[in-house]
Each structure stands twice: as C-alpha cells, then as structure tokens.
C-alpha cells in the first residue's frame, strides 16, 4: 500500500494525494513529499524506484532486508536503514524501516503497519502548516524521533518483568525462571544490536562535514542522538541487572537444593538408626539373651523411639530439619 502526503509551499496545506499524481507532484517546487509504502510489492518497489531514480543497489538492500542500521550516500539522496521496536506476546520484535531522503522528499518502506509511522503522518498533517516550512529534514527528524521514542515503552516493559522476576527469586528461586531471564536478555541484546549502529547513523547526520542539514535541523537530530544514548545506557544497565538476577536465581536454586539434600540426609540417618537396631535384634543366634526376654520387643521399639527423638532434636538445632 502506497500513501503519498504532500506539503504544498511554506504555508500551504498538508494533504494526501494519489500515487498516479506522483510524477506531477515531484516536479513542483517548494513542496515536501512523503511517500510511505507498507508491505511493498515488487511492482510498487519498481514504480517508486523509477519515479525517484533510486539506485538498484539501494533497492536491492531494501528488498533483501535484515540490513544493519546505516546511512549510504547516493547522488542526490541518502539511503537510511532504521528500526522500530514493539512488544508482541511478551517478546521484543524489530521492524526494519528503509528511508530514502532527498532534497524535497522522504520515501519510507516497511513490511508491517507501524503505529509510530501512522501517528507521525497524522501529526505532520495537523501541525506542519502552523509550524511553517521546516523542510524534509524536520520530517526525517519526526520519523526517526518517533521510532526511537518507541524503544522506551519496550525497555519499560522489560524492566517491569525483570523487577517481577527479581521479587519472585527473592521469595523462592525456581529453575524455570532461568528461561524467562534468558529471553529478557535476548530481547535486550536485540535492542542493543539495533540502537548501537543507529547511534552511528545519527552521528553521521549530525557531524558530517560538510553537513547535510542546516544548524537548526541538526539540533533536532542531536535530540534523537541523545535519546539513543539513553537507550543504549539503559540496555547496559538492564543487562547487568538481569545478570545479577540470574546469579541470584542460581544461588537460590542451589540453596533450595542444599536444604532438600539436608532433609533427605537427616531422614536417611534416622531410618538407618532404626534399621540398625532392628537388624541387631533380628539376628537369629541361639545364645542371645534377648530372644527369651519377654520385654525385648517393647525395649527395642522404645530404643528406636529414643534414638529417633535424640536425632530429630540434634538435626533441628543444626538446621537440617
């Protein structure tokens, strides 16, 4: 699906238009064009690529997907790979967004309908006129800023789940919690793998010599760069915290296992003591005075009870029962 949004002139309206009118709109001066393509088909990719004259290598990278966040310079435009993050079924999922940035246009390709892109388009339509002409640089900032801001709810969700796991572990460590901890660490690794290269992308946009954007626009991109620094710092903190939680869980599991072993050992010693007495009095020798003693059986049972009571008291004092 192709959506074409056009901002006409410095104080002109922002409105949608049909893709059939794209060729005419491109030729108009003082217009800012945003073409957003969701789940692009090969025909749509070829059509947009032909309209804007995109390089086949850039289109090939976009079609192949799985690219590392980057910014490539082509003749008259830049090809930027960025990622959005969402939480689906308690797991972090990345969404690749391919961006073509020209002097008066922005073209975005993504394989799923991202809410942050939809919200950004709505805000741009509602506020571009009142804010005056900001150019395509401000539009790019709006898209990148929305994508990066979407990282923080994902991080907050991971932090809440990590806190919940930590409380559970402190109450009673469980071996099954290790898989949940490792899944959270995998989600953090995914965020780190996305955010760290994106920081390099923003560094290129902000500190490139000669600069791609004006000083006023660079200030906005610096804000996105700062947000990415916060994301990477938070990921490092949460990874360290999950490592501590994992160590704590292993310690609690080991402690619980030691308690079980102590109790089993105590029970085994008690049963062995009773078996020892029963074994001695169960030997069938002829010259055993206990064989003809009328109180032999009660005496053996009483001796067992006394030995068991003494052992139970001792084991309770040393914390084995």
Helices first, then strands: H and E counts in the chain? 9, 7
How many CB atoms are located within 10 Å of the residue 65 CB? 11
Mean pLDDT of 148-171: 81
Specify the CATH number of the domain 254-317: 1.20.58.340
pLDDT bin (cut points 50, 70, 90) of residue 132 is: very low
CA distance 101 to 87: 28
Mean pLDDT taken over the chain: 80
Distance of CA 271 to the CA centre of its chain: 52
Count of all residues that appear for the chain in the document: 321
Buried b or exposed e, range 125-147, using 16+ CB within 10 angstroms = beebbeeeebbbbbbbbbbbbbb
Segment 135-163 shows an average pLDDT of 86
Q: Any idea which architecture 1-131 has in CATH?
A: 2-Layer Sandwich (3.30)
pLDDT the model gives residue 98: 92
**Separation in Å, CA 116 to CA 36, 144, 164, 176, 317:** 12, 10, 28, 35, 62
Q: How far apart are CA 99 and CA 108, in angstroms?
A: 5
**172-201 tens-digit pLDDT:** 656 667 777 778 888 888 888 888 888 888
- CA 72-78-82 angle, 5° bins: 70
Least Cα distance to 248 among 305, 163, 187 occurs for 163
Tell me the per-residue pLDDT of 61-104, one tens digit each, with 9 for 90 and over: 888 888 889 888 888 888 999 998 888 877 888 889 999 988 88
The pLDDT, as a whole number, for residue 227 is 87
Per CATH, 1-131 and 254-317 having the same topology is answered no
Report domain extents, the chain. 1-131, 254-317
- Tens of pLDDT, residue by residue over 235-294, are 888 888 888 777 777 777 777 778 788 888 888 888 888 888 888 777 766 666 666 777
Q: Is the pLDDT of residue 230 over 80?
A: yes
Note if the pTM is more than 0.75: no
Here the tokens at position 90 are: 């308690």
């Amino acid at each position: 699906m192709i959506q074409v949004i056009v901002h006409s002139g410095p104080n002109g309206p922002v409105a949608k238009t049909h893709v059939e009118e794209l060729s005419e709109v491109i030729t108009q001066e003082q217009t800012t064009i945003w073409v957003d393509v969701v789940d692009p088909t090969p025909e749509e990719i070829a059509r947009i690529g032909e309209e804007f004259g995109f390089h086949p290598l850039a289109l090939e990278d976009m079609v192949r997907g799985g690219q590392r966040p980057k910014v490539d310079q082509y003749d008259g435009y830049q090809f930027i790979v960025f990622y959005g993050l969402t939480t689906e079924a308690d797991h972090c999922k990345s969404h690749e967004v391919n961006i073509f940035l020209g002097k008066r246009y922005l073209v975005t390709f993504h394989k799923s309908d991202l809410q942050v892109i939809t919200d950004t388009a709505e805000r741009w339509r509602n506020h571009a006129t009142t804010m005056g002409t900001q150019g395509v640089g401000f539009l790019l900032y709006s898209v990148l800023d929305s994508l990066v801001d979407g990282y923080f709810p994902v991080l907050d969700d991971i932090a809440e789940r990590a806190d919940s796991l930590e409380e559970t572990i402190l109450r009673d460590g469980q071996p099954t919690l290790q898989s949940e901890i490792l899944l959270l660490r995998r989600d953090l690794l995914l965020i780190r793998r996305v955010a760290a290269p994106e920081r390099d992308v923003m560094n290129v946009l902000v500190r490139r010599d000669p600069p791609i954007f004006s000083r006023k626009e660079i200030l906005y991109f610096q804000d996105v760069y700062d947000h990415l620094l916060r994301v990477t710092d938070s990921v490092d903190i949460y990874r360290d915290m999950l490592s501590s939680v994992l160590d704590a869980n292993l310690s609690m599991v080991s402690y619980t296992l030691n308690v079980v072993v102590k109790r089993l050992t105590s029970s085994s010693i008690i049963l062995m003591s009773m078996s020892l007495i029963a074994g001695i009095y169960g030997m069938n020798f002829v010259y055993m005075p206990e064989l003809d003693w009328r109180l032999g059986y009660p005496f053996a049972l009483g001796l067992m009870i006394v030995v068991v009571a003494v052992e139970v008291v001792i084991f309770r004092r040393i914390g084995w029962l």
